[in-house]
Structure 1
Amino acid sequence: MPKFQNKIALVTGSGTGIGKAIATKFIEEGASVIILGRRKEPLEEAAKELEGRIPQGINASVRIFAGVDVADETAMNNMFDELKKNNVTIDYIINNAGVSGPVTCFPNAPLDEFKSTIGIHLTGTFWGSVQALKVMKEGGKIITISTFFTEEKPLEQRPYRFRSPYTASQGAKNRLAELMSWELTDKGIISIATNPGPVHSDRIYKTVYPKAAAEFMRVSGFEDLSPVQVDEANRELLPLLGEDESVIKKGITDAATKLANGKDVSKLTETFTNLLNKIQTIAEKVQNNTSHMIANREFLSQGQVAETVLNLCDDEIAKIINGKVIPGDRVFYPVKPHIGTTAPGVHQPDFTGKAVVFTIDATDKADAERIEFLAQHVEKNGGKVACFISQDTPSELQEYISSKFHSHIVDIKNPDEVARWLNTAKTNIGDILGVIHVTGKLPDIPKLTEVSRAEWEALTEKFISTPATVAQRALEQFVPGGANDPRLYKDAKGAIMIIGPDLPVGKKVTGIQRAQVEVFRGALRPFTTTVNQELSDVLNSKIRMFTIFPGSVTGTEPNNQRIADAFNFLVTDNALSSAEIVFCVDETR
């Protein structure tokens, strides 16, 4: 008898690629499958193929939900409500849907695309899992496809240049899978994540590697093309990769004619030909370098990933590894020690004539007192302080901070408003030495898996999107015009520090409480390491971004002096050569 006969698996993003391979494997093992995605045509084609693979004599079926984007709350709610209405019980939900997201340096990554990537990868996984509980019973399994090309372990990061929103969402997904195992134990639901690593797919060969190669070309410019012109050319040229030679030749000529803007078309055609050849060469080199970090130099096939997923759905195996992130990725990647504890000590810098801007999303009085301590530290050493306080900060905390420092209540979720206030600070109080963003603490939440969609999105905004918004606008302040011309970043200086969220404090901190905080720390760790690699290795700047995580696993009170010491270190040249850029300042391990 097929192993999964009489079972039902729901696979997101299953019209093509890995999702389709997983659905196929389930069908071949006797399960019924529910496939969904944004595009109807691939799903219909996949359904025909899947129906043809149902084993003879097995009563299995294929059901389609077309036009369902996992980031769309209404579409997901309606799908699971319909399943519940029809008394359908899901045995397995496979969180597979994903997108490449913007493949570009963080300063150039559109923030709407940043948020969209978080929405699909992280919120789509969270909300799909939560809604699936409506139609799951004890023994149900949530399997999340993630990647180790973001976060190897909480203390070992893999910066993935040009993929900052992807790394943030994937790192959080790893920790979300762990959290769900804690919070769903009483329901008898198992949660596991698996990180396949590089997989043979059109996305990686036709999208990720070529776009990464194209970004290398944009950063420096190519021949007589400026970065903006390279970017315009790349949009026309990248779709030509993999086409017949005649199609490529015509496409290059058409692109040169379209973008000539007074230039000699024949000369531009030659330049575009060289550019496309260079992009293809770099893309192949990236692929080859990655394969050389695998023992047998082979990426996994989509079928092998599917086989892994079905093994994780085995009842006995799933019980053993509930809550784990399984490393299917076989890439032997040399990992630098990006995570540290106490920052190295330095001689106290003189902040005279410099401004430090605080952007504040405080949760409680301890957050406000931390800001007071750090701002006084800056002023005591000669610097000037401006505090931009989020509209979402409780009014009593707004008043507390405003009574002590030059402050404004600001919509720090709005990138234009952040940029405007940073410009105001520079005009009124001087050159900005550093921007310190305080996320505030995670509110006391019994179970994250029981919050509303609006509450969840407020949390991802607070701990992921808003820090990214502030960081990107701070980079614009340090390097005006740098997004369009990355060459301006060379040797530019500046410092960005993200503080929080804290680990919970107390003698009886639960595993759930720690796991909840780790979801959002899990986003900021790989995000920080990725952006720093771009700032140092790609853009050759002297700008650094640190993240500070207060608190310890033992539940001790955080020490604000250690955060001040970390800022002292960040604004010195010592930070430029530091591999450690995320500091758990209250930990001793």
Structure 2
Amino acid sequence: MLKFQNKIVVITGSGTGIGKAIAIKFAENGANIVILGRRKEPLEEAAKELEQVIANAKSNSFVKIFPGVDVSDEEGVSKMFEDLKKSHGAVDIVVNNAGVSGPVTCFPNAPISEFKSTVGIHLTGTFWTSTQAIKTMKPGSKIVTISTFFTEERPYEQRPYRFRSPYTASQGAKNRLAEAMSWEITDKKIISIATNPGPVHSDRIYKTVYPKAAAEFMRVSGFESLTPEEVESVNADVLPLLGESENTVKQGIAQAAAKLAKSKSITSESDIEKLGTTISSLLAKIQSIAEKVQNNTSKMIADEQFLTQQQVAETVLMLSDDNIAQILNGKVIPGDRVFYPVKPHIACSIPETQANFSSKVVVLALDATDESDVTRTESLAQKIESAGGKTVILISKTSSKAAEERLSKFHSHVMDLTSQENVKRMLNTATQKVGPINTVIYITGKVPQNSKFVDLSRKDWDGLVDKFINTPAIFMQESLGVFVPGGAKNPPLFKGKEGNMIIIGPDMPAGAKVTGAERARVEVFRGALRPFATTVNQELSDVLKSKVRMQLILPGSVEGTESNNDNIMKAISYFTSGKAVNNAEIIYYPDETRS
């Protein structure tokens, strides 16, 4: 009998690439295969291949496809599992593989709609697929999540992944979600594991990620006679030409030159020809940089080899083994094979700095979870004003009336914090009526601990993702628009500019008997914000050459001690003093006692 005979395996994003390789590997070992994805044609082609594999294995297994199912789509995923339960009973293994590269650009230039979409597919797609699968699973079933170690911490380190801020945020959270689920479904005897294979040979990495990263380097400074905006426009036209025939490339460059000439009102044939030469040089430069990035990455791997898709499939198959899965339940393995040296980025001790906010305008945004969040905001605002600063407090409309009343003694407004247009308008209004903004602080509030994540409705989960990931991203991006107007499309404007962006929270749970499950739930969102902050800061400092910084303060401690608002204020005073600009540490645990 084949190892996975009679097992039903659901693999997301399985029409092509790694997902299809995993499906084939399970089919070779006797499993019934369920594949799904947004595009019907690749799934149908994959199904034909899988049926041949099953015939060769003589397992008498079946292949079922669900085309048009996007893992971030609530209704589509729910209906799929309902159909599977009715037609085939329990699902035995789910492999969360679906993913997208997301926008490959500096955070100021990354559309929030694409930021949310990337988080929706990677993080929410993993969450919703897993929770709906759990409803159909019996003891001994497994959830295997594929993510990336590019967002992982080593002791006192945090990896940035420039130009990939929504990707790093969602992947970091996804690793921690796999751990949190293992705590929450242990009573059902269902296993949750994540695997981080590292760089894998794929069209996505060669034709999308590396070239787009190279193209972003070109956009940031402009290229020859092309402005950053013109480079961005040209890149969209010529990047798909990489890897095509010489004639196709030549025609594509000519079309891109004609299009650019029209936008610049250029009619001279010789000038259009010059544009074509410039665009050809740009494409060659992008290809050269992309190849260099690939080569540099391989040099940080012991054997200098990216994994094959089949090797990733073998890993997933191994993790689905009953004995191995039991041993590795709740783990994120294996570590990325890339030895990626980074600056520390994380610290616990904060240098003593005298609070001086003379003539500084500080905007505090609050999404209050409980009274302690209001107390924190009130305390910080009072200290800032006592030190000579001016404060503007933006309060989420979902906060309590008591929060509004307590903070009404300050310059405060109640608003929809999740609306980017509202945030933009309020920050601009504060600048006009109060003065140039020096610092924007977003206070996340605490992660609710009244129920398990796996028991949440989709609405409640989406609310948490907005609260702890999407809304902080909106505030940080709109703050950049205030500090460097026009910088998103004209990156050179960032050079030398100053400004402070600070995210506070979520807090580690406090109390004498904090459970592992409670800590794990908080870590899902801390796991998003750490790589997000690190990635954005590397872009701001190393790529855009600015003095604008985004800092992350994570209150509370692993010992369960209560967070101390004085420690938070100490960190804010340090950040706004200008002394932190040249420091690598941008993530602070102000209540931790380890040195």
TM (norm. structure 1) is 0.98
1:2 aligns with 2:2: yes
CA contact (8 A) 2:360 2:390 kept: yes
Specify which of 262, 265, 284 is matched with residue 265 of structure 2.
262
Letter in 1 for 2:360: K
Helix, strand or coil: the match of 1:143? strand
User: Which residue in 2 is equivalent to 1:338?
Assistant: 345
Q: 1-side partners of 2:23 and 2:530: how far apart? A: 33
Letter in 2 for 1:115: K
Letter in 2 for 1:262: S
Which runs of structure 2 are paired with 1:433-448 in the superposition (5 Å)? 433-448=438-453
Helix, strand or coil: the match of 2:144? strand
| Structure 1 residue 87: Cα displacement | 3.7
| Structure 1 residue 154: Cα displacement | 7.7
Once the two structures are superposed, residues 552-581 of structure 1 have per-residue CA deviations (whole angstroms, 9 ceiling, x without a partner) of: 111111111111111111112321121111
Specify which of 387, 397, 404 is matched with residue 393 of structure 2.
387
Q: 2-side partners of 1:465 and 1:154: how far apart? A: 27
Q: 1-side partners of 2:156 and 2:79: how far apart? A: 39
| Structure 1 residue 296: Cα displacement | 0.9
| Structure 1 residue 155: Cα displacement | 4.6
| Structure 1 residue 328: Cα displacement | 4.7
User: Which residue in 1 is equivalent to 2:28?
Assistant: 28
| Structure 1 residue 4: Cα displacement | 1.2
Gap runs ≥5 in structure 1: none
Q: 2-side partners of 1:192 and 1:445: how far apart? A: 24
User: Which residue in 2 is equivalent to 1:211?
Assistant: 212
Q: 2-side partners of 1:535 and 1:57: how far apart? A: 57
Letter in 2 for 1:479: V
| Structure 1 residue 286: Cα displacement | 0.4
Specify which of 395, 415, 418 is matched with residue 420 of structure 2.
415
User: Which residue in 2 is equivalent to 1:358?
Assistant: 364
Helix, strand or coil: the match of 2:562? coil
| Structure 1 residue 2: Cα displacement | 2.0
Helix, strand or coil: the match of 2:451? coil
Letter in 2 for 1:6: N
Go from structure 1 to structure 2 and tell me whether the alpha carbon gap of 1:154 and 1:389 turns closer, same or farther (over 3 Å shift).
Answer: farther
User: Which residue in 1 is equivalent to 2:288?
Assistant: 281
1:515 aligns with 2:520: yes
Once the two structures are superposed, residues 474-509 of structure 1 have per-residue CA deviations (whole angstroms, 9 ceiling, x without a partner) of: 000000000010110000000001001111111111
Letter in 2 for 1:530: T
User: Which residue in 1 is equivalent to 2:382?
Assistant: 376
Which runs of structure 2 are paired with 1:514-553 in the superposition (5 Å)? 514-553=519-558
Which runs of structure 2 are paired with 1:89-238 in the superposition (5 Å)? 89-153=90-154, 155-238=156-239
Which runs of structure 2 are paired with 1:280-319 in the superposition (5 Å)? 280-319=287-326
CA contact (8 A) 1:122 1:169 kept: yes
CA contact (8 A) 1:342 1:562 kept: no
Question: Structure 1 residues 424-433 or 197-206, which shifts more?
Answer: 424-433
User: Which residue in 2 is equivalent to 1:450?
Assistant: 455
User: Which residue in 2 is equivalent to 1:477?
Assistant: 482
CA contact (8 A) 1:149 1:158 kept: yes
Letter in 2 for 1:183: E
Go from structure 1 to structure 2 and tell me whether the alpha carbon gap of 1:312 and 1:283 turns closer, same or farther (over 3 Å shift).
Answer: same
Gap runs ≥5 in structure 2: none
Q: 2-side partners of 1:153 and 1:462: how far apart? A: 27
CA contact (8 A) 1:342 1:566 kept: no
What is the CA RMSD across the aligned residues, in angstroms? 1.0
Letter in 1 for 2:454: T
Q: 1-side partners of 2:177 and 2:58: how far apart? A: 39
Letter in 1 for 2:448: P
Helix, strand or coil: the match of 1:408? strand
TM (norm. structure 2) is 0.97
CA contact (8 A) 1:154 1:522 kept: no
User: Which residue in 2 is equivalent to 1:564?
Assistant: 569
User: Which residue in 2 is equivalent to 1:57?
Assistant: 58
Helix, strand or coil: the match of 1:52? helix
Once the two structures are superposed, residues 155-185 of structure 1 have per-residue CA deviations (whole angstroms, 9 ceiling, x without a partner) of: 5321000000000000000000000100000
| Structure 1 residue 444: Cα displacement | 2.6
Letter in 2 for 1:20: K
| Structure 1 residue 457: Cα displacement | 0.1
Q: 1-side partners of 2:506 and 2:348: how far apart? A: 15
Q: 1-side partners of 2:107 and 2:469: how far apart? A: 14
Q: 2-side partners of 1:125 and 1:307: how far apart? A: 21
Once the two structures are superposed, residues 6-27 of structure 1 have per-residue CA deviations (whole angstroms, 9 ceiling, x without a partner) of: 2111000000000000000000
| Structure 1 residue 199: Cα displacement | 0.2
CA contact (8 A) 2:179 2:331 kept: yes
CA contact (8 A) 1:502 1:550 kept: yes
Q: 2-side partners of 1:405 and 1:443: how far apart? A: 27
Letter in 2 for 1:471: M
Once the two structures are superposed, residues 131-152 of structure 1 have per-residue CA deviations (whole angstroms, 9 ceiling, x without a partner) of: 0012110000000000011124
Tell me the matched-pair count.
Answer: 587
CA contact (8 A) 2:173 2:526 kept: yes
CA contact (8 A) 1:93 1:143 kept: yes
